[in-house]
Amino acid sequence: MMNVSHETFGCGVVTDDLLFGPLAAVAADPAVTDVAVTCGGEVWVDCGRGMERAHIDIPLRPAAVLREYAVRLCAQLGCRLDEAAPIADASAPDGTRIHAVVAPIVSQGAAISIRLPDRRASRLDHLVRHGLCPPAWEDLLRHMVAKRANMLIVGGTGAGKTTLLKALLQECSVRERIVVVEEVRELGAVHHGNMVSMLTRQANVEGAGAISLAQLVKATLRMRPDRIVVGECRGEEIVDLLRASNSGHAGGMTTIHANGVAHVPARLMALGLLAGLEPRATALLASRAFDVLVMLRRNGSQRYIAEIGTLSLNGEGLAGAPLAVWNGSGEAAVCDHMHERWRAFCERWLR
């Protein structure tokens, strides 16, 4: 039986470089965005066309070998994985994310999911060249960053939300102090001289020591931020971010999961309820908190900005309206009956 030893991962002291051992070849492939290992040791990768089976030279079998591999992979990032803590989430300084689960949570061995950072340069002009952003919207987005718009980036899993967020952060002035809070480190590769990055912490085996996103968002307010950036809002931290945006903190950015601009209100209401906030209060705060919604879509191997829209009050509720759309090729188009609103929107940010 092959043992996953220290030699399997290489030798020396691990610092910023995560050693993948048997998965090194697939992890080094610039086309690979995701790697998944099943409980049976099968390896699957996503190169933008959906998950495909991959071959590795050193098999991650039997189950004991796979489990030991998962434990050592997480240990490099200071993350515990064993019977007492059978679920692990960890991130590397370069933005690589590791999620691992061991038996008895899974039937045998371990299940491993790895999200690899986009290795391409994340700047708006590069995103235009790679087909993620239409040329007509490049200057608009750049001006919105310069004029400190509060931006909500929307999309499904793997649609490119983090890629766009990194590109927008690269446009920020070097004189601005950016405070970032995340559950896993995905924005650490952003090159900005005055940026503080904070991570949440899970509770230890005694159930103590947890630090939540909501706590970190509150902490940012005492750190003299020019911009507050939340990697992803998916819980009660949305309320603290909404309150910050409504109290003079401009230039903030965050992402949420939603399938379109029109679906954002329902998602925000659900997150507000998690924090005990009444829907009407959430609607009032959100309508004033975000200046723009930028929605991304994934279609096969292509990821692109599909909609730019805004939020507004609609009676007692909240409405999300796309102003302009793009299908990933050709020219972007203004939505029907939205020409006046789009013209006013562009004049506000481009003048």
**70: nearest Cα among 32, 17, 108:** 108
Q: Using one digit for the tens of pLDDT, what is the confidence trace for 57-78?
A: 989 999 999 999 999 999 998 8
- Other C-beta atoms lying within 10 Å of the C-beta of residue 164: 26
Q: Note if the bond before 93 is cis, omega within 30 degrees.
A: no
What are the distances in angstroms from CA 134 to CA 138, 175, 249, 313? 7, 28, 29, 29
Query: Is residue 202 predicted with pLDDT exceeding 60?
Result: yes
Q: What is the pLDDT of residue 126?
A: 92
Query: Is residue 3 predicted with pLDDT exceeding 80?
Result: no
**What is the Cα–Cα distance from 232 to 241, expressed in whole angstroms?**
11
Q: What is the pLDDT of residue 84?
A: 87
Q: Using an 8 Å Cβ cutoff, are 57 and 80 in contact?
A: no
Q: Using one digit for the tens of pLDDT, what is the confidence trace for 144-197?
A: 999 999 999 999 988 999 999 999 999 999 999 999 999 888 886 677 888 999
**211: nearest Cα among 181, 185, 178:** 181
Q: Using one digit for the tens of pLDDT, what is the confidence trace for 265-291?
A: 999 999 999 999 999 999 999 999 999
What are the distances in angstroms from CA 308 to CA 42, 322, 326, 334? 40, 6, 9, 10
Q: What is the pLDDT of residue 336?
A: 92
Angle at 240 between CA 223 and CA 258, to 5 degrees: 120
Strands 292-299 and 253-257: unpaired
Residue 6 pLDDT grade (very low, low, confident, very high; cuts 50, 70, 90): very low
- Residue 197 bridge partners (DSSP): 180
Query: Is residue 12 predicted with pLDDT exceeding 50?
Result: no
**What is the Cα–Cα distance from 279 to 270, expressed in whole angstroms?**
8
Count Cβ atoms within 10 A of the Cβ of residue 85 and give its class: 0-12 exposed, 13-18 middle, 19 or more buried: middle
Average pLDDT estimate for 37-66:
91
Q: Using an 8 Å Cβ cutoff, are 158 and 303 in contact?
A: yes
**pTM (predicted TM-score):** 0.82
Helix ranges (H only) for the chain are 6-9, 24-28, 63-75, 124-129, 135-146, 161-170, 213-220, 237-245, 264-274, 279-289, 339-350
Residue 11 pLDDT grade (very low, low, confident, very high; cuts 50, 70, 90): very low
Q: Which domains does the chain have, with CATH numbers?
A: 21-115 (3.30.450.90), 124-350 (3.40.50.300)
**What is the Cα–Cα distance from 273 to 267, expressed in whole angstroms?**
10
Q: What is the pLDDT of residue 119?
A: 66
Residues 6+ apart with CB under 8 A from 60: 22, 37, 41, 43, 66, 69
DSSP state of 118: P
Q: What is the pLDDT of residue 189?
A: 67
CA 279 to chain centre: 25
What are the distances in angstroms from CA 209 to CA 86, 100, 201, 221, 222? 18, 21, 7, 21, 21
Q: What is the pLDDT of residue 13?
A: 32
On average, the pLDDT of the chain sits at: 89
